Amino acid sequence: MMIFIGASYDELGLSPEEIQTQMGRWFAWGDKMKEQGILRGGAALYAKGRRISGPDRIESDGPFVESKELIGGYYTAAADSFEEAAKIAQDYPDYHLGGTVEIREVVKFDR
């Protein structure tokens, strides 16, 4: 799983032109993974959220972290190793905007 961390486009103040350019890059990446048959799933997340924590189940509204640490979404893709996954993640479009990709292996549950 590739988890995308970084400020939202809203926060970054991207122009319509830049938003379109970034989107084009997301499409290109998604299409590439689909063509290779490695894309398994994914989602984009809104910045707004709610948290429940602790034994008292205290509920609070975000933001919970600094905007640059915000999780914006994830993709799951098939890869045999972290090295291979890191290669796939090279196409993530937001590095130049300060974005980060965290790669985590998804646990396969026993049936």
Partner 1 sequence: MVDHLFRHQYGKLVAILSKIFGLAHLELIEDAIQDTFLQASLKWRQAQPDNPQAWLTQAAKNRAIDLMRQINAQKQRHEKTVHGAATLEINEYFLDHEVQDSQLRMLFVACHPAFSREEQIAFALKAISGFSMKEIAVALLQKEETIKKRLARARKKIQELDITLDYPAPGEINDRLSAVQQIIYLIFNEGFHSTKLNQLIDKDLCGEALRLCQLLLVKEQFRSGNLYALFGLLCFHASRLDSKIVDGKIVDLKHQDRSTWHFPLIVLGNDALNKAMRYSDQSIYHLEAAIAAEHIKAIKFENTNWQQIIDYYNEMFELMPSDSIRLSRAITYLQMERLADAKKELDTIDAAAMSQRSYLLHGTYAEYYAKNGEPTQALAAIDKAISTCTNSLEREYLEEKKAGMTSPD
Residues within the interface to partner 1 (CB under 8 A): 8-10, 13-20, 22-24, 26-27, 30, 42, 44, 46, 73
CB of 94 to partner 1, least distance (A): 11
Minimum CB separation of residue 110 from partner 1 in Å reads 30
Least separation in angstroms between residue 68's CB and partner 1 is 17
Please say which residue, 22 or 100, places its beta carbon nearer to partner 1.
Answer: 22
Structure tokens at 69: 């640490």
For 34-65, give one letter per residue: b (16+ CB within 10 A) or e: eeeebbeeeeeeeeeeeeeeeeeeeeeeeeee
